[in-house]
């Protein structure tokens, strides 16, 4: 029986399937990239135990590699994902909120938006998230974001898979990212989770709609929100495309 993709509910991994998150993603997988975030933070802010804010912290996997050197606060829209991050990062202050509108009423030296920035589907949403970042930064403060893909270079389909086991549960995921409509600002990832528990195999599916923007759009919107824009490229082991961090330094005054 064929399954119509548009009937697959979106974002289940951050909601009703959030219990699967630790089986889909492991903190250790973020160690190398977190090293580049640390390098940029040190370069821009210098030594010291600076205060940083992550928007869309998810399970807090990337953040878990930065908390030994920085004092962190974290925001996510999903209570269930926050619960994972709280378990992993018990010393971090956590808040539930939407990165487009949350206002904590205080400032930080850096704001980080890791892959959660892909949840911004329109230029308007992206600008709102950048304005949130600007509101939470002092002059000279640093914004770092890491979009997964750019409209300039995206070439689908992109396929990934992995298997992880925790206790008696083994999960294999298949991840397929493609562009259903090249004329809009989104792409789509379809996921299948094969969960083996006590000799039984159960299959769940999931779908994520993600923003896809030109590099010029990223830089233009960052400038509009009051940032000096910089693109930093790195190489990660086992990753064919370059790993890019978009860095904004909040304008003085
Ligand atoms: C892929 S996960 C982030 C994983 C994270 N990078 C880590 O290291 O664990 C994406 C997260 O973005 C969150 N999110 C989506 N839209 C959001 C929004 N508008 N505001 C805040 N968080 C949002 C989701 O709830 C989810 O937890």
Closest Cα to residue 195, out of 165, 225, 223? 165
**Ligand 1, residues at Cβ distance < 6 Å:** 14, 30, 55-56, 58-62, 76-78, 81, 98-100, 114-116, 119
Spacing, Cα 94 to ligand 1 middle (Å): 13
Where residue 241 falls among pLDDT bands split at 50, 70, 90? confident
CA of 2 to the centre of ligand 1 (A): 31
Atom 16 (ligand 1): residue with closest C-alpha? 119
Cβ(62)–Cβ(41) below 8 Å: no
Q: What pTM value is reported for the model?
A: 0.97
Order of strands across the sheet that contains 158-166: 158-166, 169-178, 186-197, 200-211
Average pLDDT over residues 137-141: 96
- Locate the ligand 1 atom nearest the alpha carbon of residue 99 and give its number: 20
Span 8-35, average pLDDT: 97
Q: What is the mean pLDDT of residues 7-22?
A: 97
User: Per the structure block, which two tokens stand in for 208?
Assistant: 């994520």
| Model confidence pLDDT, tens digit, residues 89-123 | 999 999 999 999 999 999 999 999 999 999 999 99
Q: Look up tokens 């998150």; give the residue.
A: 21
133 pLDDT higher than 80: yes
Residue 248's beta-bridge partner residues?
A: 143, 229
Q: What is the dihedral of CA 35, 110, 247, 77, to 10 degrees?
A: 90
CA of 180 to the centre of ligand 1 (A): 23
Mean pLDDT of the chain: 97
In 10 A of CB 4, how many CB atoms? 6
């Amino acid at each position: 029986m064929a399954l119509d993709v548009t009937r697959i509910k979106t974002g289940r991994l951050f909601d009703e399937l959030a219990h699967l998150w630790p089986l889909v993603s492991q903190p250790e997988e973020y160690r190398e990239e977190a090293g580049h975030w640390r390098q940029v933070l040190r370069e821009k802010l210098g030594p010291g135990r600076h205060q940083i804010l992550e928007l869309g912290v998810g399970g807090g996997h990337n953040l878990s590699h930065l908390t030994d050197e920085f004092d962190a606060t974290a925001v996510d829209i999903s209570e269930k994902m926050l619960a994972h991050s709280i378990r992993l990062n018990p010393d971090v202050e956590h808040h539930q909120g939407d990165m487009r509108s949350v206002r904590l009423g205080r400032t930080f030296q850096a704001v980080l938006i890791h892959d959660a920035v892909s949840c911004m589907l329109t230029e308007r949403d992206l600008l709102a998230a950048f304005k949130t970042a600007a509101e939470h930064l002092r002059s000279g403060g640093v914004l770092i974001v890491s979009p997964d893909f750019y409209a300039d270079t995206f070439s689908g389909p992109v396929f990934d898979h992995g298997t992880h086991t925790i206790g008696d549960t083994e999960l294999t995921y298949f991840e397929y990212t493609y562009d259903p409509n090249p004329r809009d600002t989104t792409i789509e990832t379809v996921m299948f989770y094969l969960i083996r528990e006590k000799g039984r195999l159960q299959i769940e599916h999931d779908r994520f709609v993600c923003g896809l923007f030109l590099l010029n759009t990223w830089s233009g919107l960052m400038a509009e929100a009051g940032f000096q824009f910089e693109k930093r490229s790195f190489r990660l082991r086992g990753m064919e495309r370059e790993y890019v961090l978009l860095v904004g330094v909040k304008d003085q005054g």
